[in-house]
Amino acid sequence: MFCVNLGKRGIERREVEGGKNQHRFNAYLSVKKFAQERIAPLVSKMDENSAMDEAVIKDLFDQGLMGIEIDPQYGGTGASFFSSILVIEELAKVDPSVAVLCDIQNTLINTLFVKLGTEAQKECYLPRLSTEMVGSFCLSEAESGSDAFSLKTRAEKHKDYYIINGSKMWISNAEYAGVFLVMANVDPSAGYRGITCFIVDRDTEGLHIGRKENKLGLRASSTCPLNFDNVKVPESNILGKAGQGYKYAIGMLNEGRIGIAAQMVGLAQGCFDQTIPYVQQRVQFGKRIFDFQGMQHQISHVATQLEAARLLTYNAARLKEAGKPFIKEACMAKYFAAEVATLTTSKCIEWMGGVGFTKDYPIEKFYRDCKIGTIYEGTTNIQLTTISKFIDQEYNG
């Protein structure tokens, strides 16, 4: 396994396993440069206005970062899942909102199409998803968050089409998405076995995108409620098989949570990277505040937790890529990384002192952004319960 850490002073430490990782390292440097030069200048404004700059979205597409695992025959980049993880981590160092846009596209939307799409569906959507169209994943509702499968959105079958009625909530990317993957129930009497994944184009009649939420953090990422008012969708728009939606959702979210773990790791690292130089130059009582042992111990503790979170994330990604069981590890990575992000950002504000508490410095934004990590794509409590289920199985003789 290799480990890469480019601190602010440009010190690099890595063990390379050969040509394959060298190339990944180069790719990640390119994304780092792009993020620093093209995204960083816009972060503060996007946060304040609660809006993603459209130039950023276009840039992400132009850089090939929105179709990382899509085959080049469809216009994608043709890279690996691990590459997606590195890209998400790198983007999150600069802006976690941009990272989540990239994460959802790559780990949820694209993966669903690639794994479940018919050739016709792939040809219709993958090229656009690679080059210009954002996708949204619609599972949660006002009355069903963690209890996802109690969703109420209904899809009634008529001949060769379905009529969808209901509403979704907390839908990321909704503001600029061109396509929505909507989980609706075609047969409530079958319980969750009626949940089906539908492809709904943005301009479909009856689909209303509500006003975006005014959020504490990740503000540049649009989060909107959606309303489905007799939305007509052809049968050919079912992704995968009817009634299997619950399986697909679980499967995708297992992978998606590695992406969120990467986002949290990047967030924590980005925050840390901007704090340490301040701590090194701030002088009190005749010495750098970094030189006080109390500070050194806190800083080292946080750095260690960060490193551990990163390794958990990379390990989960490696297991998934190798086709080995990875769900427990993915849950651990997401849960731990979110906790570490909370710890890191909170401590960074303290280390910065008064200026950490002002909007003039980027630290407080990371503090606000990190909180969603313990909530979305499976709350911390859900992760812990899932981990315990695996432990229970493992020790069951």
What are the structure tokens assigned to 4, written together?
């890469």
Between residue 61 and residue 90, which ones bind another protein under the rule CB under 8 A?
A: 62-65, 68, 72, 76-79, 83, 87
Nearer to another protein, 254 or 275 (CB): 275
CA-CA distance, 357 to 385, in Å (whole number)? 35
Decide if residue 34 touches another protein (CB under 8 A): yes
Q: Is 364 annotated in the active site? A: no
- Contacting another protein (CB under 8 A), which of 12, 48, 123, 235? 12
CA-CA distance, 1 to 21, in Å (whole number)? 9
CA-CA distance, 314 to 54, in Å (whole number)? 31
Decide if residue 9 touches another protein (CB under 8 A): yes
Nearer to another protein, 33 or 301 (CB): 33
Q: How far is the CB of 190 from another protein (least distance, A)?
A: 42
Decide if residue 31 touches another protein (CB under 8 A): yes
Decide if residue 44 touches another protein (CB under 8 A): no
Q: How many residues bind another protein (CB under 8 A)?
A: 28
CA-CA distance, 155 to 231, in Å (whole number)? 9
Q: How far is the CB of 306 from another protein (least distance, A)?
A: 20
Decide if residue 240 touches another protein (CB under 8 A): no
Query: For residue 238, which of 194, 190, 200 has the smallest C-alpha distance?
Result: 200
Q: Which of 90, 255, 364, 377 is catalytic?
A: 377
Decide if residue 27 touches another protein (CB under 8 A): yes
**CA distance readout (Å), 368 to 170, 172, 266, 345:** 17, 17, 15, 9
Question: Which run of H or of E encompasses 266?
Answer: helix 245-281
Nearer to another protein, 16 or 216 (CB): 16
Among 57-65, 102-110, 206-214, 242-250, which window interacts with another protein (CB under 8 A)?
A: 57-65
Angle at 99 between CA 3 and CA 146, to 5 degrees: 105
**CA distance readout (Å), 378 to 205, 282, 284, 287:** 31, 40, 43, 44
SS3 state of residue 203: coil
Nearer to another protein, 88 or 233 (CB): 88
CA-CA distance, 189 to 267, in Å (whole number)? 43
Nearer to another protein, 188 or 277 (CB): 277
Residue 264, burial from CB neighbour count under 10 angstroms (0-12, 13-18, 19+)? buried
Decide if residue 321 touches another protein (CB under 8 A): no
Decide if residue 33 touches another protein (CB under 8 A): yes
Give the amino acid at 15: E
What does 287-322 look like in DSSP terms, one character per residue?
EEGGGSHHHHHHHHHHHHHHHHHHHHHHHHHHHHHT
- Contacting another protein (CB under 8 A), which of 1, 13, 211, 392? 13
Nearer to another protein, 23 or 45 (CB): 23
Q: How far is the CB of 22 from another protein (least distance, A)?
A: 7
Decide if residue 23 touches another protein (CB under 8 A): yes
What are the structure tokens assigned to 23, written together?
């190339």
Give the residue numbers annotated as catalytic, written as ranges: 377
What is the binding site for another protein (CB under 8 A)?
A: 6, 9-13, 22-23, 26-27, 29-31, 33-34, 38, 62-65, 68, 72, 76-79, 83, 87
